[in-house]
Structure 1
């Protein structure tokens, strides 16, 4: 499975920990994020992740910025992307199970690195439940 990851200056340490975890689990990672804490524009990285997911270059995506709001707004401009702002494992699980989210949006200024890694693992380990949720997800893109 391929995971596309992008982050701004709020997330280089988060990205490093997440990439290490993903690679240990055997995932391929498309790294579009910065490794620096110098200010950069989050949409530049979020667009690359959304394009990877929409075009099938990646199965799922991870985007990180300070609040996760900006990266979420950016990735959700793509019709085949459902980005979910997550701040704990339960939200990460429900966003996959009920909403079939394919990009997790992490707020670096409001979560710890271990919490972010745990959310990504939960996100990847959770399948879409389908059923009654399929109809609802179908209405998102109309």
Structure 2
């Protein structure tokens, strides 16, 4: 069974709850790291929690949500090995997986509605990394990451 880590701040809380239902309906195990309400919290905390679960192999992939998706994607991308992609439509979601092998999907709870979010998540989940020339590019990104993490 696929396991997805999911986290949001207060700006993404409502959309996160709708995504949990969508994933459950697809028989995907969800590791919900919070937040659990629309009370103000800091998005870096939840971006980090999701990203660490993915990077450590405790989740197959992750989804992060804040008001715009921008801040939480920046935070998630600070964890080595994470390729968080902020997307706003299904085409971007498919390309994020096919060309960039994005292991974390970032969404904006104040930018997209539930219907579009579910379409985006489905497109990302159903896509397959193409490898080949795209893997060569990811290898270059990994080298950049190593150079700055050591």
TM class by shorter chain equals over 0.9
Deviation at 1:35, TM superposition (A): 2.6
Output the CA distance in 1 between the equivalents of 2:128 and 2:92.
Answer: 14
Output the CA distance in 2 between the equivalents of 1:67 and 1:139.
Answer: 28
Output the CA distance in 2 between the equivalents of 1:111 and 1:69.
Answer: 13
Other-structure match for 1:97: 98
Output the CA distance in 2 between the equivalents of 1:107 and 1:140.
Answer: 25
Question: Do 2:10 and 2:39's aligned partners in 1 also have CA atoms closer than 8 Å?
Answer: yes
Unaligned runs of 5+ in 2: 144-150
Q: Size of the alignment, in residue pairs?
A: 142
Which structure dedicates a bigger proportion of its chain to helix?
A: 2
Question: Do 2:14 and 2:38's aligned partners in 1 also have CA atoms closer than 8 Å?
Answer: no
Other-structure match for 2:119: 118
* Aligned-residue CA RMSD (Å): 0.8
Output the CA distance in 1 between the equivalents of 2:76 and 2:35.
Answer: 17
Unaligned runs of 5+ in 1: none
Other-structure match for 1:83: 84
* Greater Cα offset, 53-62 or 112-121: 112-121
Output the CA distance in 1 between the equivalents of 2:74 and 2:142.
Answer: 15
Other-structure match for 1:57: 58
4+ long deviations beyond 4 Å: none
* Greater Cα offset, 46-55 or 106-115: 106-115
Question: Which has the larger Rg?
Answer: 2
Other-structure match for 1:30: 31
Structure 2 counterpart SS, 1:64? strand
